[in-house]
């Protein structure tokens, strides 16, 4: 048996030469294997670096968290007219694969290397010091933007980034792993995993910026991103029409929170009342009619632990249907924005000269909403769920700024039709197979066709280089490059019957494992997407390996492990070989726990300092750059000066769906603690502060014990405790993925409705805000007077 495995690994090594980028021979001209090219100052006139003649513009559009079966060009229920247009004018790929989480797919897309090979084995917020998981892209793996920019392209990125180590996402930098440090001339977007589409916190380059409109003025993030992309490309082409551009547009949609105006949601009213079981059957029938899947394809088995539609009561059905209406409207709205950009390129006369990749998902549809969905996504990340009866009264608000919704996991299974499982589950196709469309004017003659060759997201970069006539660089900025592990897909543009050039591909994410080799797949699911807390007690040795003949079982419906144990063992050995090669080991199944830097072993940006002092303009600090006030006692002391009835925020972290705030209302001090958008606790002083200088304090006494234990909070004015309250549940792991820590203002959504969003800046003067942090996880005896004050109230 070991001999069989050895033979397979040798075969893999021999075929690795297929994974080369670009043409085999260098065209005449500069040495493009050593980048960036330098300007020839001996020329007259001196000209910028020029691309090879005929190099196309490149547009890569990436939709977030969309399953294989969601969009209309893939048989789905979400109307996506732009995707349909591009598919009719180009090619659809039926076996295109990604990783099963956000950051890893993006790093693989932009580097052409497998995610572990470039240190992004998991999302950036879950990184550990292990070689395949540290989250720091090595300089030996240049991005496509660095390669194209080094060859004379103009480059820009818009939208979601999610690849910079969180410890570097602060005003202190360094900025080398921000978009503008990774090859993009221009960036407008956000840095983290997700973003509120009504109140986003954005960057232009490395500078924090705020939208110039509010939701009530018609603002929406997806529209804003495309506005900026259109402005950039029209300006770039107006000034330098002879220079090709590379634009990367990565939407926050359709990742949670599902935010879109009511008219988009309501367009789908009633369409999903029959439920997810019926929807799966309808999608599969459409996919078969389109030729996206074979006529003999069947639905994969339903995921254990999720209810079938008929098991829901009437309220649960009504709530679930509304969630799906919202998602479909959100998806269509996003696609319409893509259409605005495509129409602009067409009107400019450059669309046919542009190689367009439209990736309909960076992983499968998300099952992280749990069995019934939630109005507040952060609940699920902390192991909590909502009842449909509690959500039902808010269905008219679903998708507006008061909600942070994600649909039930049953819809995720339906949106991944015909495949099993969802996002996170790298072992099964529902987590890793997505739609992908390519359009390239007259360079694709077989317009409207479907391509069934097996490909992976790492193949996009070498395809771009191949189309542009560029070689894989040997060195970039003096650093020798590790091999690009993708293989060009350009051979498929002209020949739908061409044999696959990708014959082996491994998959791994948070312990879920899979290996594809020449038509067969061996997989082992380890986790459950909606169970993200306390998962470390599941031994990997207990995982059950499954075996599938994908040449004859399109949807992973028939497990053949018992029939072919020798083949299963052979493929397991191949996975081990690939895992060692690409730095997959050691496996780590932790999800939410790894979002705590101390638990994960990431660098503490504050290096253990327990006293931190901030000035009045410090802001936009993410969870890892902010003072860590979770699971510990602490004291906040703000030196302020107030006028008559001053108001506004002194210091805050997070927002409406999780966070805390110390603020004044008409001169009266108050402190709000918002537990994952579910429980709001507010303690207030009794009298307004007199005009003048004061020391405003917040003394937080943590109970000690496991993460998320209770606490007591008290407000001090000039050293005197004036009010205290009990907080039964505190935030164990994270306040927010999208909102930040700020002095003197609460950006984004407000932690509490005592003050408005955005317009809540402190009206007095702040000298400093000081944090004194106790040891994490223990109660502080010095803060017993806070509890005593509460007892005597």
Domains of the chain: 55-499 (3.40.720.10), 604-792 (2.60.120.200)
Burial class (CB in 10 A: 0-12, 13-18, 19+), 305: exposed
Q: Which phi and psi angles does 415 have, rounded to 5°?
A: -70, -15
Query: Cα(94)–Cα(517) distance, rounded to whole angstroms?
Result: 17
* Mean pLDDT calculated for residue range 413-439: 98
pLDDT at 1: 39
pLDDT at 62: 99
Query: Cα(531)–Cα(510) distance, rounded to whole angstroms?
Result: 12
Determine what percent of the chain is predicted with pLDDT higher than 70. Answer: 94
The per-residue pLDDT for range 446-477, each reduced to its tens digit, is 999 999 999 999 999 999 999 999 999 999 99
Tokens 């792991």 map to which residue?
733
Q: For strand 679-684 and strand 692-702, is the pairing parallel, antiparallel, or unpaired?
A: unpaired
pLDDT at 10 over 60: no
Q: What is the per-residue DSSP string for 580-636?
A: HHTT-PSP---SGGGGSHHHHTPPPTTTT-SEEEE-TT---B-TTTS---TTS-EEE
| Cα of 628 vs its chain's centroid, Å | 23
**Least confident among 2-16, 184-198, 307-321, 333-347:** 2-16
Q: Residues with Cβ < 8 Å from 431, sequence gap 6 or more? A: 100, 363, 364, 416, 421, 422, 423, 424, 425, 509, 512
**Least confident among 5-14, 30-39, 614-623:** 5-14
25 vs 348, higher pLDDT? 348
How is residue 665 written in tokens? 């209302």
pLDDT at 791: 54
* Mean pLDDT calculated for residue range 249-254: 98
Q: Which residues pair with 638 in a beta bridge?
A: 696, 769
Query: Cα(636)–Cα(714) distance, rounded to whole angstroms?
Result: 10
The per-residue pLDDT for range 290-318, each reduced to its tens digit, is 999 999 999 999 999 999 999 999 999 99
**Least confident among 25-39, 457-471, 621-635, 694-708:** 25-39
3-state secondary structure of 3: helix
| Cα of 713 vs its chain's centroid, Å | 34
Helix, strand and coil percent figures for the chain, each rounded to 5: 30, 20, 50
Q: For strand 504-509 and strand 433-439, is the pairing parallel, antiparallel, or unpaired?
A: unpaired
The per-residue pLDDT for range 259-271, each reduced to its tens digit, is 999 999 999 999 9
Query: Cα(35)–Cα(22) distance, rounded to whole angstroms?
Result: 15
* Residues 404 and 196: beta-carbon distance below 8 Å: yes
* Mean pLDDT calculated for residue range 3-29: 47
pLDDT at 787 over 80: no
Query: Cα(317)–Cα(322) distance, rounded to whole angstroms?
Result: 9
* Mean pLDDT calculated for residue range 342-368: 98
Q: Say if residue 257 is preceded by a cis peptide, omega within 30 of 0.
A: yes
pLDDT at 9: 46
Q: What is the pLDDT confidence band of residue 208, given thresholds at 50, 70 and 90?
A: very high
How many CA atoms, within 13 angstroms, populate the side-chain half-sphere of residue 433?
30
Q: What is the pLDDT confidence band of residue 788, given thresholds at 50, 70 and 90?
A: low
Query: Cα(128)–Cα(411) distance, rounded to whole angstroms?
Result: 32
Q: Which residues pair with 768 in a beta bridge?
A: 639
pLDDT at 534: 75
The secondary structure element, H or E, covering residue 87 is helix 81-88
Residue of 260, 256, 280 lying closest to 268 (CA atoms): 260
Query: Cα(38)–Cα(478) distance, rounded to whole angstroms?
Result: 13
pLDDT at 27 over 90: no
Q: How distant, in Å, are the alpha carbons of 512, 532, 544, 555, 674 from that of 528?
A: 10, 8, 14, 19, 28
4 vs 263, higher pLDDT? 263
pLDDT at 361: 98
Residue of 470, 516, 463, 464 lying closest to 492 (CA atoms): 463
**Least confident among 379-388, 404-413, 506-515, 647-656:** 379-388
Residue of 693, 648, 654, 698 lying closest to 668 (CA atoms): 648
Q: Residues with Cβ < 8 Å from 539, sequence gap 6 or more? A: none
* Mean pLDDT calculated for residue range 503-529: 97
* Mean pLDDT calculated for residue range 771-791: 67
- The angle at the Cα of 126, spanning 507 to 624, to the nearest 5 degrees, equals 160
Q: What is the pLDDT confidence band of residue 778, given thresholds at 50, 70 and 90?
A: low
Q: For strand 648-655 and strand 479-480, is the pairing parallel, antiparallel, or unpaired?
A: unpaired
Q: How distant, in Å, are the alpha carbons of 277, 279, 326, 434, 457 from that of 418?
A: 11, 11, 22, 11, 20
The secondary structure element, H or E, covering residue 770 is strand 765-773
| pTM (two decimals) | 0.95
Query: Cα(520)–Cα(8) distance, rounded to whole angstroms?
Result: 13
- Give CA torsion, residues 196, 198, 204, 209, to 10 deg: -110
Query: Cα(738)–Cα(748) distance, rounded to whole angstroms?
Result: 9
Neighbours of 295 (CB within 10 A): 8
pLDDT at 105 over 90: yes
């Amino acid at each position: 048996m070991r001999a069989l495995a050895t033979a397979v690994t040798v075969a893999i090594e021999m075929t690795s030469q297929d994974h080369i980028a670009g043409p085999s021979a260098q065209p005449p001209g500069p040495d493009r294997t050593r980048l960036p090219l330098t300007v020839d100052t001996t020329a007259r006139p001196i000209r910028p670096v020029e691309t090879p003649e005929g190099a196309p513009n490149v547009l890569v559009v990436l939709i977030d968290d969309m399953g294989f079966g969601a969009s209309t060009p893939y048989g789905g229920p979400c109307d996506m007219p732009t995707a349909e247009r591009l598919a009719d004018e180009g090619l659809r790929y039926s076996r295109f694969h990604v990783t099963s989480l956000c950051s890893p797919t993006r790093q693989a897309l932009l580097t052409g290397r497998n995610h572990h090979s470039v240190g992004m084995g998991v999302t950036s917020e879950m990184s550990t010091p292990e070689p395949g998981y540290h989250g720091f892209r090595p300089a030996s793996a240049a991005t496509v933007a660095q390669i194209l920019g080094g060859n004379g392209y103009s480059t820009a990125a818009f939208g979601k980034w999610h690849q910079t180590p969180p410890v570097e996402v602060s005003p202190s930098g360094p900025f080398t792993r921000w978009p503008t440090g990774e090859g993009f001339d221009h960036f407008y977007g956000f840095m983290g995993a997700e973003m509120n589409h009504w109140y986003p916190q954005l960057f232009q380059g490395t500078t924090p910026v705020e939208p110039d409109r509010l939701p009530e003025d018609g603002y929406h993030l997806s529209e804003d991103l495309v506005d900026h992309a259109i402005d950039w490309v029209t300006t770039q082409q107006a000034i330098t029409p002879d220079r090709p551009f590379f634009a990367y547009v990565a939407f926050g949609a359709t990742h949670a929170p599902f935010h879109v105006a009511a008219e988009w949601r309501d367009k789908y009213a009633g369409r999903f009342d029959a439920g997810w079981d019926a929807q799966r059957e309808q999608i599969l029938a459409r996919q078969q009619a389109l030729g996206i899947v074979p006529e003999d394809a069947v639905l994969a088995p339903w995921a254990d632990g999720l209810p079938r539609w008929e098991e829901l009561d009437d309220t649960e059905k009504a709530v679930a249907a509304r969630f799906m209406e919202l998602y479909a409207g959100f998806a269509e709205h996003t696609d319409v924005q893509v259409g605005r950009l495509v129409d602009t390129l067409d009107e400019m006369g450059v669309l046919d000269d542009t190689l367009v990749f439209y990736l309909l998902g960076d992983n499968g549809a998300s099952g992280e909403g749990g069995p019934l969905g939630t109005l507040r996504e952060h609940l699920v990340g902390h192991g909590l769920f909502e009842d449909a009866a509690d959500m039902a009264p808010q269905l008219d608000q679903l998708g507006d700024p008061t909600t942070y919704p994600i649909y039930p996991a049953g819809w995720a299974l339906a949106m991944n039709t015909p495949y099993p499982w969802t996002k996170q589950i790298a072992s099964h196709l529902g987590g890793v197979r997505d739609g992908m469309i390519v359009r390239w004017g007259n360079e694709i003659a077989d317009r409207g066709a479907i391509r069934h060759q097996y490909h992976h997201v790492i193949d996009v970069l070498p395809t771009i280089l191949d189309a542009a006539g560029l070689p894989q660089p040997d060195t970039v900025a003096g650093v020798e490059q590790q091999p690009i592990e993708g293989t060009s897909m350009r051979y498929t543009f002209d020949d739908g019957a061409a044999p696959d050039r990708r014959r082996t591909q491994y998959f791994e994410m948070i312990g879920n494992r899979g290996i594809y080799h020449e038509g067969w797949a061996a997989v082992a699911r380890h986790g459950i997407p909606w169970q993200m807390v306390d998962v470390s007690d599941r031994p990997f040795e207990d995982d059950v390996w499954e075996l599938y003949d994908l040449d004859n079982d399109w949807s992973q419906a028939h497990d053949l492990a018992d029939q072919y144990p020798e083949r299963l063992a052979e493929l397991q050995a191949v996975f081990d070989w690939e895992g060692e090669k690409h730095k997959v080991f050691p496996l780590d199944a932790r999800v939410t726990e790894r979002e705590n830097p101390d638990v994960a072993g990431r660098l503490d940006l504050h290096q253990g300092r327990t006293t931190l002092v901030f000035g009045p303009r410090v802001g936009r600090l993410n969870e890892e750059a902010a003072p860590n006030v979770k699971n510990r006692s602490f004291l906040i002391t703000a030196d302020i000066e107030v006028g008559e009835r001053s108001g506004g925020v002194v210091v805050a972290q997070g927002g409406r769906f999780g966070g805390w705030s110390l603020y004044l209302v008409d001169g009266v001090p108050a402190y709000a603690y918002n537990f994952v958008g579910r429980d709001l606790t507010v303690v207030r002083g009794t009298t307004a502060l007199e005009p003048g200088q004061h020391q405003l304090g917040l003394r937080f006494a943590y109970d000690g014990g496991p993460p998320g234990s209770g606490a007591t909070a008290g407000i001090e004015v000039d050293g005197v405790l004036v009010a205290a309250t009990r907080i039964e549940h505190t935030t164990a792991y994270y306040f927010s993925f999208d909102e930040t820590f700020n002095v003197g203002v609460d950006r984004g959504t407000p932690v509490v409705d005592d003050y408005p969003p955005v317009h809540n800046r402190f009206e007095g003067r702040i000298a400093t805000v000081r944090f004194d942090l106790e040891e994490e996880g223990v109660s502080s005896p010095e803060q017993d007077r806070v509890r005593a004050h509460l007892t005597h109230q």
